[in-house]
Amino acid sequence: EAQVTQNPRYLITVTGKKLTVTCSQNMNHEYMSWYRQDPGLGLRQIYYSMNVEVTDKGDVPEGYKVSRKEKRNFPLILESPSPNQTSLYFCASSVVAGDFSYEQYFGPGTRLTVT
């Protein structure tokens, strides 16, 4: 079954404790992306990756890191989480063709609370 998986689904942590949210897709997609969703602000892009070893900042990259060492995985790293990073996070992937990506497939979301 084609899918994007994220782990963990729920996480409560404390300020400053490094954490990683994993994202994996089994569709051999080139494009992967991380978003955060906050009430009243909608979804905002954190980072995206066009292919292995190619990553770019989205609209809200501060406080986050990513890596793309393998095509299927795109982990999101919070080196020193702060309460303003409490949010719902989505990973997504898609095929790339021409000058844009095709429809995105989304993971189930990770609800992160930083106290």
Partner 1 sequence: KNEVEQSPQNLTAQEGEFITINCSYSVGISALHWLQQHPGGGIVSLFMLSSGKKKHGRLIATINIQEKHSSLHITASHPRDSAVYICAVWRLGYQLIWGAGTKLIIKP
Interface residues with partner 1 (CB under 8 A) are: 31, 33, 35, 40-45, 48, 50, 56, 58-59, 88, 90, 92, 96, 98-106, 108-109
Give 62 or 100: the residue with its C-beta nearer to partner 1: 100
Residue 100, amino acid: F
- 89 touches 36 (CB < 8 A): yes
Cis peptide before 61 (omega within 30 of 0): no
Give 13 or 104: the residue with its C-beta nearer to partner 1: 104
CA distances to 18, 93, 104 from 30, in Å: 27, 7, 11
Give 62 or 103: the residue with its C-beta nearer to partner 1: 103
